[in-house]
Chains A and B, each alone.
Chain A
Amino acid sequence: MTSKARVLAWVVSVAVVAAAAAWNVQLLADWRRESAAASRATRAADSLEAHTRSTRERALVERLRREARSQPGVALAIDLDSAHLTLLRDGLVLRRLPVTLGAATAQADAQALGRGAFEVATVLGPKDRWEVPAWLFTERGLPVPETTAIRGALGVAAVRLSDGPWIYALPTVGPLADSTYTMPGAIRAKAKDLASVTPNVTVGTPVYIF
């Protein structure tokens, strides 16, 4: 190959490589642009969806709060954010009392407290027995006794809601007789507070948790 031919081959080769490189750089830029746009849109969609979930949650809370305040007759309202139970009649606040909320635990066979509209399904008094679930003894690190139906295990007063959660008073007997513990998925009030509220509720009384 002559020197001239070699020079030409060099020039052509370099030109081809440069063109290929330039093409590839362009492609990479395009890819980066597309990827960045996809990423931006995904982040924006994630953020917007989170905002929408939050807005829907707020709308649910506001709707339930308003339903409770517009309910004729007696109703209970439980505000999960402020941890308060309110007794209402015709939307007017009769009594507002602090409560503690039992978070769901891995061991507990109970669901986390959910927002929604419920009804009172059961009302228990101080002399009523409650069949304490076995998992509660296990969770409290106690042996499961032969007889698990304990009188007053839910305190002087307790209300079970239509979907399962309990509102109960701190008892003096049984595995729940511990002021530092609240049954998972349940709502606990002071005995005196709840005793003043439960005489006013009956099966079917609306309960709003928001």
Chain B
Amino acid sequence: MTDPIRPADPQPAAPSRLRRWLLDAPPLLLLGVAAAIGVAGFGTRRAIATASAERQAAEARLDAARREAAAAGDSLAAVRAVSAGPAGDTAFIVVSIAENRLWYKRRDSVLFTTRVATGTGGELKKTAGSKATWKFDTPRGRLKVERKDESPMWVPPDWHFVELAKKKKLSLVFLKGAMTVPVGDGSVIALSGQDVVRRMPDGHEIPYDAREGREIIVGRKLIVPPLGTHQRRFAGVLGAFRLYLGDGYGIHGTDVPSSIGRSASHGCIRVRNEDIEVLYQLVSVGTPVLVY
């Protein structure tokens, strides 16, 4: 007999399609995920291969860079092994013509500097009507101190007399041998040994005391004493010392200090007397003199 009130037990209901899917699908989904991860993994493997190739290329480049760096370092070391300047520790003199200045240097250090006078650059005709000239330049280039002179005497070159004669409108008489020049009072100017003398009518001889500014002038004639005579050696003109540079050029003192700092000389390098004293003490024979 059935209970009319209590319904019969229902048949277990079949799971719904959704529930069945929920129960069965996840493993399939997970397998799908695994497959996707696997596919991604293959992509990563390709990326690894690419990165690996890049690493190898970069390491090869690094190796090459190391070799290049070593070669460059060797090259720099080889260059540095060569001396960076003239050998030795020689001091030298530099003279600027444009700036009329002298430097005494050792390597790149200035040991002494002062103003100087250098050549005017002017020209003087050797004889009237002649095309030959003297040019009063200080020579550019490399000279050297050939010797050091104390109390140097100036042996005026011919241009000194030519210049003076031109300035004072005198004629020149180059005294030589047995030549005599009458003075007008019966005496004559003549050579006697190493002197230019005034020979009196009685034969008495008076040597001339010639020096710069006191040249021998008779009437309108300027007497040029021969080289080697005492009258062709002027004291005091070059100061107390001279550094002789050869070929008639030198660095010396002056009796015209106002000329210092200007282009005023006939080619020599003039300095103040107190400066040539310093240079004379500092500079040794053989010192290069570079004039620019």
- B-binding residues in A (CB < 8 A): 1, 6, 9-10, 12-14, 16-17, 19-21, 23-24, 27-28, 30-31, 34-35, 37-42, 44-45, 48-49, 51-52, 55-56, 58-59, 62-63, 65-66, 69-70, 74, 87, 89-96, 192, 195-197, 199-200
B48 touches A41 (CB 8 A): no
- Determine the distance from Cα of A19 to Cα of B35 in the docked complex, in whole angstroms: 11
Query: B51 contacts which of A23, A34, A44 (Cβ < 8 Å)?
Result: A34
- Determine the distance from Cα of A196 to Cα of B94 in the docked complex, in whole angstroms: 13
Decide if the interface of chain B is mainly helix, strand, loop or mixed: helix
Q: Chain A residues with Cβ under 8 A from B27's Cβ?
A: 6, 9-10, 12-13
B69 touches A10 (CB 8 A): no
If A45-B61, A89-B142, A200-B140 touch, whether A52 touches B76 (CB-CB below 8 Å) is no
Decide if the interface of chain A is mainly helix, strand, loop or mixed: helix
B58 touches A31 (CB 8 A): no
- Determine the distance from Cα of A16 to Cα of B41 in the docked complex, in whole angstroms: 13
A41 touches B140 (CB 8 A): no
Q: Chain A residues with Cβ under 8 A from B96's Cβ?
A: 94-95, 196
B23, B26, B41 interface centre (most CB from chain A within 10 Å) = B41
Q: Chain A residues with Cβ under 8 A from B105's Cβ?
A: 92-93
Query: B38 contacts which of A20, A42, A51, A195 (Cβ < 8 Å)?
Result: A20
- Which residue of chain A is the closest to B30 with respect to CB atoms? A13
B84 touches A69 (CB 8 A): yes
Query: B108 contacts which of A16, A20, A45, A93 (Cβ < 8 Å)?
Result: A93
Query: A24 contacts which of B40, B57, B84 (Cβ < 8 Å)?
Result: B40
B45 touches A27 (CB 8 A): yes
- Determine the distance from Cα of A16 to Cα of B31 in the docked complex, in whole angstroms: 7
Q: List 26 A-B contacts (CB under 8 A).
A: A6-B27, A10-B27, A10-B30, A13-B31, A17-B34, A20-B37, A23-B41, A27-B48, A30-B48, A34-B52, A38-B55, A40-B58, A41-B55, A44-B62, A55-B72, A56-B75, A62-B79, A69-B84, A69-B85, A89-B142, A89-B292, A90-B288, A90-B290, A93-B108, A196-B98, A199-B97
Which 6 pairs from chain A and chain B are nearest by CB? Answer: A41-B58, A196-B98, A13-B30, A34-B51, A9-B27, A38-B55
Q: Does B111 contact A (CB under 8 A)?
A: no
- A-binding residues in B (CB < 8 A): 23-24, 26-31, 33-35, 37-38, 40-41, 44-45, 47-48, 51-52, 54-55, 57-59, 61-62, 64-66, 68-69, 72-73, 75-76, 79-80, 82-86, 92, 94, 96-99, 105, 108, 140-142, 288, 290, 292
Query: A38 contacts which of B30, B51, B92 (Cβ < 8 Å)?
Result: B51
Query: B34 contacts which of A16, A38, A39, A96 (Cβ < 8 Å)?
Result: A16
A31 touches B82 (CB 8 A): no
- Determine the distance from Cα of A175 to Cα of B99 in the docked complex, in whole angstroms: 28
If A27-B45, A34-B51, A200-B140 touch, whether A56 touches B72 (CB-CB below 8 Å) is yes
Q: Chain B residues with Cβ under 8 A from A62's Cβ?
A: 76, 79-80, 84
Q: Chain B residues with Cβ under 8 A from A91's Cβ?
A: 85-86
- Which residue of chain A is the closest to B98 with respect to CB atoms? A196
B61 touches A42 (CB 8 A): yes
Given contacts A13-B31, A34-B51, A93-B108, 9 further A-B contacts (CB under 8 A): A10-B26, A13-B30, A30-B48, A31-B48, A38-B58, A69-B84, A89-B292, A93-B94, A94-B292
Query: B84 contacts which of A10, A28, A41, A65 (Cβ < 8 Å)?
Result: A65
- Determine the distance from Cα of A120 to Cα of B64 in the docked complex, in whole angstroms: 39
